Amino acid sequence: MPSDTSRAPRRSSSRRGFLRLAGGAAGGIATAAHALETGDPLAIPEWSRTPGAPSASPPYGRPSPYENLGRKSRTPPAFPGASSTGTPLQHLHGIITPNGLHFERHHAGVPAIDPVRHRLAIHGLVERPLILTMDDLVRMPSVSRIHFLECSGNTPWLGAKPGWTLQESHGLLSCAEWTGVELSTLLDEVGVKPGAAWILAEGADAAGMSRSIPLDLARDGAILAYAQNGERLRPEQGYPLRLFVPGVEGNLSIKWLRRLKVGDQPFQTREETSKYTDLMPDGSARQFTFVMEAKSVITTPSGGEQLRAPGFREIRGLAWTGRGRIAGVEVSTDGGARWQAAVLEGPILTRCLTRFRLPWRWEGGPAHLLSRATDETGYVQPPRAALVSVRGIQSFYHNNGIAGWHVAAEGGVSHAV
């Protein structure tokens, strides 16, 4: 039994006794609710009495009408097409983000691309420049890998915002299985010339979004992805083709990819000069801060939830790192005075979300829930104050500081750091 449960009085040594879900102060599970409604807990409900709807209606399935999930706009659009929507992480389970709930970040909206007319050009410092159709790419050797994608602007440096839900504080984070051609396969095909060191990737959207990617990073598992969780990419995720660079800020994963140009130095595009740099306290700016360092967050309880009755409640969350695998996650329920090791749920994949969980009893008083991830390099997710002491508060991107939730005595949950 985990250490924090040993303090709870136990009526029974069985697991059921420990959870004490039925009856008592922590009652209120389905059986009890059904009994209230019908007076008979084993009565046959109406949906068991006649055959249900036939299958294939609609042909592409949808969630139950009782599930009311949606992405939510994160920022008011600054100019036409600029938008972002957050994944409702607080309502999801496991590590995979359903395609319809993957977060979105568009600098000039979602282009409507005809896959038959779309082309990928690769040129610059290469022996054999190429122009590829989607059919050409899909015929090539393929890989499928599960990785997280996080916008480096996901969690602003604002400190505690009591009104925030998880969708607002961490929603520009999703995780999917990406299928496509490894970029290194294509680079071998075109033959990179001596002196080549960077690759420009350019999107076919009206923003013409482009970033420079070091050749080493491009060869470290980057994918020319055409599928996501088993089906072709969603238009919002870059249909028909996106670059997917695992472990680094989402901005490098250029959607609607139309061109790759190999060069001997970075191309100094708008997105790596005026944007996606980190302003330091001395006025200098850090450029090319690619990697997403270890980070974690508790997904439940989280902001906006209302705990109703004291009793057992599993604390659950997600941890991730751009440097490989998550090695451990610790959870505190008292604002960081004491930490306990959470259980990591497998599979623990590289540059992927990892689920963690910890049994907890809410005794009814205030609590301050925090989580802290450690990755396989030994890097430990820092407190916000430690980040601020080095980087000041002018930075906008790459906030991976410890954050969590405050549980009020009456059970209301709000954002806290």
Ligand X SMILES: Nc1nc2c(c(=O)[nH]1)N[C@H]1C(S)=C(S)[C@@H](COP(=O)(O)O)O[C@H]1N2
By CB under 6 A, name the binding residues for ligand X: 102-107, 149, 151, 203, 205, 207, 209, 236-237, 250-251, 253-256
Q: Does 246 bind Mo ion (CB under 5 A)?
A: no
149: partner contacted, choices ligand X, Mo ion, none (Cβ within 5-8 A by kind) = ligand X
- Cα separation, 60 vs 133, whole angstroms: 27
- Cα separation, 103 vs 174, whole angstroms: 6
Residue number, 153 or 401, with CB nearest to Mo ion:
153
205: partner contacted, choices Mo ion, ligand X, none (Cβ within 5-8 A by kind) = ligand X
Give least dist CB 89 to ligand X, A: 13
With CA atoms as reference, report the closest residue to 153 among 303, 28, 3, 289: 289
247: partner contacted, choices ligand X, Mo ion, none (Cβ within 5-8 A by kind) = none
321: partner contacted, choices Mo ion, ligand X, none (Cβ within 5-8 A by kind) = none
Give the bridge partners for 177, in sequence order: 146
Return the residues of window 71-130 that contact Mo ion according to CB under 5 A.
105
Q: How many helices (H) and strands (E) does the chain have?
A: 7, 26
Write out the two tokens for 303.
């902001």
- Cβ–Cβ contacts within 10 Å for residue 236, how many? 19
Instruction: Map residue 46 onto helix, strand or coil.
Output: helix
Q: Does 243 bind Mo ion (CB under 5 A)?
A: no
Residue number, 151 or 207, with CB nearest to Mo ion:
151
Residue number, 107 or 361, with CB nearest to ligand X:
107
Q: What radius of gyration, in Å, describes the C-alpha atoms of the chain?
A: 24
127 to 166: interface string for Mo ion, x by CB under 5 A = ------------------------x---------------
197 to 236: interface string for Mo ion, x by CB under 5 A = ----------------------------------------
Q: How far is CA 389 from the centre of its chain?
A: 26
Residue number, 105 or 259, with CB nearest to Mo ion:
105
Give least dist CB 107 to Mo ion, A: 9
147: partner contacted, choices ligand X, Mo ion, none (Cβ within 5-8 A by kind) = none
Give least dist CB 246 to ligand X, A: 13
169: partner contacted, choices Mo ion, ligand X, none (Cβ within 5-8 A by kind) = none
DSSP string of 263-275, one letter each residue: ESS----GGGTTS
**CB of 94 closer than 8 Å to CB of 349:** no
- Cα separation, 50 vs 69, whole angstroms: 28
Q: Does 250 bind Mo ion (CB under 5 A)?
A: yes
- Cα separation, 234 vs 70, whole angstroms: 16
Residue number, 250 or 317, with CB nearest to ligand X:
250
Stretch that binds Mo ion, among 31-39, 130-138, 244-252, 292-300 (CB under 5 A): 244-252
Residue number, 206 or 279, with CB nearest to ligand X:
206
- Strands, DSSP E only, in 321-411? 326-332, 340-341, 343-345, 354-358, 361-362, 367-375, 404-407
With CA atoms as reference, report the closest residue to 380 among 345, 316, 315, 336: 336
Give least dist CB 202 to Mo ion, A: 16
Give least dist CB 85 to Mo ion, A: 12
Q: Where are the alpha helices (DSSP H) in 329-405?
A: 384-391
Stretch that binds Mo ion, among 13-21, 198-206, 248-256, 386-394 (CB under 5 A): 248-256
- Cβ–Cβ contacts within 10 Å for residue 196, how many? 16
Give least dist CB 70 to ligand X, A: 15
Residue number, 106 or 415, with CB nearest to ligand X:
106
Write out the two tokens for 361.
């009893």
Residue number, 151 or 199, with CB nearest to Mo ion:
151
Alpha-carbon distances, residue 38 vs 26, 43, 46 (angstroms): 21, 7, 11
Give least dist CB 276 to Mo ion, A: 8
Residue number, 151 or 215, with CB nearest to ligand X:
151
Amino acid identity of 73? Answer: S
Give least dist CB 64 to ligand X, A: 25
- Cα separation, 382 vs 390, whole angstroms: 11
The torsion angle over the Cα atoms of residues 113, 114, 117 and 123, rounded to 10 degrees, is: 30
**CB of 329 closer than 8 Å to CB of 339:** no
Residue number, 179 or 374, with CB nearest to ligand X:
179
Interacting residue ranges for Mo ion, rule: CB under 5 A? 105, 151, 250-251
